[in-house]
Amino acid sequence: MPDKTIEKTVDALPGDSGRTAVAAMTDAGPAPEKARSLWSDAWHDLRRNPLFLISAVLIVFLLVMAAWPGLFTSASPRHADLAKHYLGAPNWTNFFAADWFGYDVQGRSIYARVVYGARASITVGVGVTVAVTVLGTVIGMIAGYFGGWTDTLLSRVTDIFLGIPFLLGALVILNSFDDRTVWVVIMALAFLGWTQIARVARGAVITVKQSDYVVAAKALGASTTRIMFRHILPNAVAPIIVVATIALGGYIAAEATLSFLGVGLGDSAVSWGGDVARGREQLRIAPHTLLVPSVMVSITVLSFLMFGDAVRNALDPKLR
């Protein structure tokens, strides 16, 4: 069938292109399958994936919560009323009220703290993911594209950073800062976390580098930056996005863990990990002070992981 179409096109006289196109179309048989790009193909898959839809709704919900916590509660996360103390049991059926999840050891509304805590976790998670993606992609692309000693050097540096245990390295860096803002935490985690993306980007670039269109672009005299950003990056970006989305959930968990260990955001910040650490003393008598923020961390990590999983399944043709 395709051969016939080509013959017709070749036979057609210049200026006859309209007729040829019609002929080709009619020859193509009933209901031609529209050729889709990787991205529209992935989007086609994702729209039908319940896992993706659930996680996307949860993520939108969490993003709104991080941006406008005031929409969810009128209570303040810092207003402490010792009369309300944690022994006042949570009012589990009083939805969205200040006492929905009860009060913590200082008499602050746990519901308000959980709502306001979303911002810290999400900002750090997204911030670190963006930072490691940019850093890792640049380093991996340079190593993969130039090869030779540049590659050897950058790969050894990657090996060295891979040898540093992530949690331990983050503890060491963050512990030496007294004033730990969101930016300090993001920078520290990005400094240690870029290796995985760099490896993936390097591999992807090496695969793409040998393709005909890159050779053609080179032969046409395209500049190195143009080849990298116009030809290589768009074709190597899928595996990078897959790794980055899955890593996002991990970074949110990492932020919570570091806050729990007391080296995350400063004490004045409202963060889930910090609240878990403070609720620890009451685990036996008032478990809700600890379990509510813990559950929030898990729901958030779970949403981002499900999202990453769905994106991977849609973008990775090997899994089909």
Partner 1 sequence: MGRYVARRLLQMIPVFIGSTLIIFCMMYALPGDPVRAMMGDQAYDPAVVANIKKDLGLDQPLLQQYANYMAGLVQGDFGTQIASQRPISDVIGDAFPVTLRLTIFAFTFVTLVGIGLGLIAGLRPDTLRDRGLLTLTLFLVSMPSFVLGFLLQYLLAFKWNVTTPTVTDSTDFSQLALPATVLASLSLAYVARLTRTSIAENLRSDYMRTAVAKGLPRRRVIGVHLLRNSLIPVVTFLGIEIGSLMTGAIVTEGIFNVRGIGIEIYEALTRREGATVVGIASLMVLIYLAASLIVDLLYAVLDPRIRYA
**Count of residues for the chain?**
320
The binder of partner 1 chosen from 46, 204, 247, 256 (CB under 8 A): 256
12, amino acid identity: A
Of 211, 212, 240, 39, the C-alpha closest to 141 is: 240
Binding mask 301-320 for partner 1 (x = CB under 8 A): xx--xx--x---------x-
**By CB under 8 A, residue 161 contacts partner 1:** yes
Q: Rounded distance, CA 97 to CA 109, Å?
A: 9
CB of 240 to partner 1, least distance (A): 20
Contacting range for partner 1; rule: CB under 8 A; set: 15-23, 67-75, 175-183, 215-223: 175-183
Beta bridge partners of residue 109, listed in sequence order? 103
Q: How far is CA 226 from CA 144, 220, 239, in A?
A: 16, 12, 21
Binding mask 178-207 for partner 1 (x = CB under 8 A): x-----------------------------
The binder of partner 1 chosen from 131, 154, 228, 297 (CB under 8 A): 297
**By CB under 8 A, residue 123 contacts partner 1:** no
Rank residues 173 and 232 by Cβ distance to partner 1 and give the closer one: 173
Q: Rounded distance, CA 114 to CA 69, Å?
A: 10
Q: Residue 174 in contact with residue 264, Cβ under 8 Å?
A: yes
The binder of partner 1 chosen from 128, 173, 236, 242 (CB under 8 A): 173
**By CB under 8 A, residue 280 contacts partner 1:** yes
Q: Rounded distance, CA 220 to CA 275, Å?
A: 59
Rank residues 1 and 285 by Cβ distance to partner 1 and give the closer one: 285
Q: How far is CA 136 from CA 46, 127, 195, 201, 288, in A?
A: 26, 14, 6, 7, 40
Residue at token pair 């096109």:
9
**By CB under 8 A, residue 168 contacts partner 1:** yes
**By CB under 8 A, residue 124 contacts partner 1:** no
Q: Which residues contact 119 (CB under 8 A, 6 or more apart)?
A: 65, 66, 67, 69, 270
Rank residues 74 and 150 by Cβ distance to partner 1 and give the closer one: 150
Footprint on this chain of partner 1 (rule: CB under 8 A)? 156-157, 159-161, 163-169, 171-173, 175-178, 249, 253, 256-257, 260-263, 273, 276, 280, 283-284, 287, 290-291, 294-295, 297-299, 301-302, 305-306, 309, 319
